[in-house]
A and B are shown apart, each in its own frame.
Chain A
Amino acid sequence: MSIQKTDGRATMRRRKMLARGFAGLIILLFLFVSVFPFIWVTATSVKPSPEIFGARTAFRLIAENPTLEHYKVVLEKGLLRSVLNSFIVSIVTTLYVIFVATLSAYLVSRFRFKGKTFLMAMILAVSMFPQMIIVGPIYNMFYSLGILNSYWVSLAYSSITLPTAVWIMVAHFKSIPLSLEEAARIDGAGALRTLTHIIFPLAAPGVFTTAIMTFIASWNEYLLTFTLNTDANYHTVPVGITALRTQFTILWGQIAAATVIVIIPTLAIVLLFQKQIISGITSGAVKE
């Protein structure tokens, strides 16, 4: 009887160990699958073209004659211009989106007013629309204003970034206790003063999260810039890098080198601001 019991325990322990091992294996597999494309592309970026296309050398991780030629070529082709454009457009978008979203999220989270549910429903609906529905009219609008091929494209980004920003910001504002504002109010501070002196400092983490999420969304935007800014001088990273492909052959070495270059900013953001990104992804999505 007692022997059986210890036997059972041993099986349990073994089973637990097995489960752990299995979980560990899956995690390792996941890490490998997630990271492998980046490693492979980095390896390709230093291979000379004959090695990339050669049957014998195409699938070797380490280049036989490593070269920085591809990096040189894509930099000469003006890739840094695209990177600069991406920074300009994304920073401008982030700044005005934060301004607009902070003001409205404060109002939505702190006041009762008619049509609030309607407003939030509308914002949610806008974030659900197929983005394609705005492209034609926006193109015509920019065409008739003569602002195709310019940084004004940033304003059109509001359609994809603002709804999410307001949504995240409202969730953050709601989690800030009201009592502090009550005190400020009793002291006679108005709504704007309460917002700038009491709420904003408390909401800073939320604002920062929203900024990061907006920046990433703008950085990744493809459709609007591709359509509105056909001039290579105004290409952002996603558009500029796809424009490196030529019609007949694709020089993978150049694509790989360009990929490595443009991934660096994203990588930096992810490594520095993981916490904010995860909070941004999950706020509003988790329902208790």
Chain B
Amino acid sequence: MKHNLKLNHFLFLAPLLIMLAIFSLYPIITSFVYSFFDYRTTNQQFNELRLGSALNGDLLAENASYVGFYLNDDYDLVDAEGQAVFDRVTEESDRIAEQYAGVTDISAADEEAIRAYIVDARQSIDAVYSRFPDEDFWRQSDLKAIFAGMERVFIESNYVGLEHYQRLLKDTRFFKDLGHTAFFTVMTVSLELILGMGLALIMNKAMRGIGLVRTAALIPWAIPTAVSALMWQYLYDGRSGIVANFFAAIGLIGSPEQMLSTSGGAMTAAIIADVWKTTPYMALLLLAGLQIIDRGLYESAAVDGSGAVHQFFHITLPLMKPSILVALLFRTLDAFRVYDLIAVLTGGGPGGSTETLSIYSYKVMIEQSNYGYGSAIVVGMFVFVAIIATVFIKFLGADLLSDS
């Protein structure tokens, strides 16, 4: 019997919800938001998310103080009427500059008002100067430059809407990397499934030495991927790598250097390293599924005279379908988001031939500080992950979440 929940029991759930909210949900939503902005942290014009325009208040104040300073220089060269105009412009510019400090968001109306002031001030001063065509003013050209500079105090909105996604749809590098990712995923997961299944079937039969096999299976899985990638980089090394030299000796590759320096070799190298690390894990998952099959089924099938192959396809596979699907789901998603292995082993090279979507988005987002487009790539990747997960869960039914 289960109990209905009292309100204070939710305190049990609070830590989980808070952690998930801060370190999972908030970042995920924020990535979506980033993708709608031209957000680049290394460029001052784009280093914040701006839905509306903003104003660089410090720059405005600096320009305004120059306006007053320059007008003062030419003050005595004009008549009283002109001096009144100069006073008005100086006052106005000081008044506007006082209102803003630092970079602040401004409304469209305020922006309009400041732009109108700039136009008005420039025209009024020009009008004064033009009444004295023969006078040699000190600051006429300086003021022109200052008013031109004042246009730059506005920082425009960097909201780009769906622009990044339109770019993504035309981005050949994205689709090439999607191809690499899909190829890597399909190859590794199917090899791991077939080899893992074979191993699991053998481990299920074998009695002696099973403990040793299990230990041996756990070690590749348990060591950090970055460390195993580094280890394989050594084994694949053109000069000292024993695996590369072995492959060259048996004629799989032309020379040992080709293992990591050709596109086919590097992709194969990554696939082998992943299969080496993950097949044992797959075997353990499948072995657990095998062990819950009732042995009596095989015995009665044997009495009916069906052979081992027949038994495998008519008893083992159907009964293991759920375990296989769960294992496939998690492995597929893991392979699709592969980062550590490729980042350390090939860095995406040579010539981008092993670059996966994770590597591409990391390069754009972190290495080039282009969070906007980088996030759009991640979201693109996310869409494929969602599709893969949905398809698998459809096959699995609601099993995964059933409350039994």
Contacts and interface: CB of A to CB of B under 8 A. Distances in A.
A259 B230 contact: yes
Contact of B15 (A33, A44, A100, A277): A100
Contact of A241 (B198, B216, B226, B285): B226
A159 B15 contact: no
A285 interface: yes
Interface in A30-64: 30-31, 33-35, 37-38, 40-41, 44, 52-53, 58-59
B281 A281 contact: yes
Contacts of A255: 230-231, 234
A104 B13 CA distance: 5
Interface string A211-236: 00000100110110001000000000
Interface string B280-308: 11001100110010000000000000000
A220 to B, nearest CB: 4
A128 to B, nearest CB: 5
A122 interface: yes
B12 A106 contact: yes
A248 interface: no
A110 B20 contact: no
Contacts of B209: 27
B337 A267 contact: no
18 contacts: A26-B202, A27-B202, A30-B199, A34-B220, A37-B235, A53-B239, A58-B239, A107-B13, A110-B3, A129-B28, A130-B337, A135-B365, A158-B23, A220-B224, A245-B230, A274-B214, A282-B288, A286-B323
B185 interface: no
B15 A266 contact: no
B23 A159 contact: yes
Interface of B: 1-6, 9-10, 12-13, 15-16, 19-20, 22-28, 30-31, 34, 41, 198-199, 202-203, 205-206, 209, 211-220, 222-228, 230-235, 237, 239-240, 242, 245, 276, 280-281, 284-285, 288-289, 292, 322-323, 326-327, 330, 333, 336-337, 339-340, 343-344, 357-358, 361-362, 365-366, 371, 374-375, 378-379, 381-382, 385, 389, 399-401, 403
A113 B10 CA distance: 10
Interface string A139-183: 111000000000000011011001000100000000000100010
Which of A110, A120, A139, A286 has the most C-beta atoms of chain B within 10 angstroms of its own C-beta? A286
B285 A281 contact: yes
Q: How large is the interface on A (under 10, 10 to 19, 20 to 34, 35 or more residues)?
A: 35 or more
B337 A239 contact: no
A124 to B, nearest CB: 7
Interface of A: 23-24, 26-27, 30-31, 33-35, 37-38, 40-41, 44, 52-53, 58-59, 99-101, 103-104, 106-107, 110-113, 116-117, 119-126, 128-141, 155-156, 158-159, 162, 166, 178, 182, 191, 216, 219-220, 222-223, 227, 237-239, 241-242, 245, 250, 252, 255-256, 259, 262-263, 266-267, 269-271, 274, 277-278, 281-282, 285-288
A133 B339 contact: no
Residue from the set A99, A159, A255 with the largest chain B CB neighbour count within 10 Å: A159
Nearest to B214: A274
Nearest to A54: B240
A287 B371 contact: no
B178 to A, nearest CB: 13
Given A38-B219, A58-B240, A252-B237, A130 B358 contact: yes
A34 B216 contact: yes
B385 A130 contact: yes
Given A35-B216, A37-B232, A138 B27 contact: yes
B398 to A, nearest CB: 9
Chain B interface SS verdict (over half): helix
Given A53-B240, A134-B24, A270-B219, A241 B227 contact: yes
Given A26-B202, A27-B209, A285-B323, A222 B225 contact: yes
Contacts of A128: 333, 385, 389
B240 A252 contact: yes
B350 to A, nearest CB: 16
A103 B225 CA distance: 31
Contacts of A263: 223, 227
A24 B245 CA distance: 28
* 10 closest A-B pairs by CB: A238-B226, A134-B27, A287-B322, A282-B288, A137-B30, A137-B27, A130-B337, A220-B224, A104-B16, A238-B224
Contact of B401 (A37, A121, A141): A121
B381 A132 contact: yes
B242 A40 contact: yes
A117 B401 contact: yes
Most chain B CB neighbours (cut-off 10 Å) among A113, A130, A278: A130
Contacts of B362: 132, 135
A31 B330 contact: no
Nearest to A32: B216
A160 to B, nearest CB: 9
Contact of B218 (A99, A120, A274): A274
Contact of B16 (A33, A101, A222, A252): A101
A132 B358 contact: yes
Contacts of A159: 23-24, 27
Contacts of A123: 20
A41 B231 contact: yes
B326 A287 contact: yes
Contacts of A178: 1-2
Given A53-B239, A135-B365, A278-B284, A222 B26 contact: no
Nearest to B199: A30
B20 A136 contact: no
B387 to A, nearest CB: 12
Contact of B202 (A23, A101, A107, A227): A23
A250 B227 CA distance: 15
A270 B223 CA distance: 10
Contacts of A125: 389
A104 B15 contact: yes
A134 B28 contact: yes
Contacts of B232: 37
A62 B224 CA distance: 27
Contact of B378 (A120, A130, A259): A130
B12 A191 contact: yes
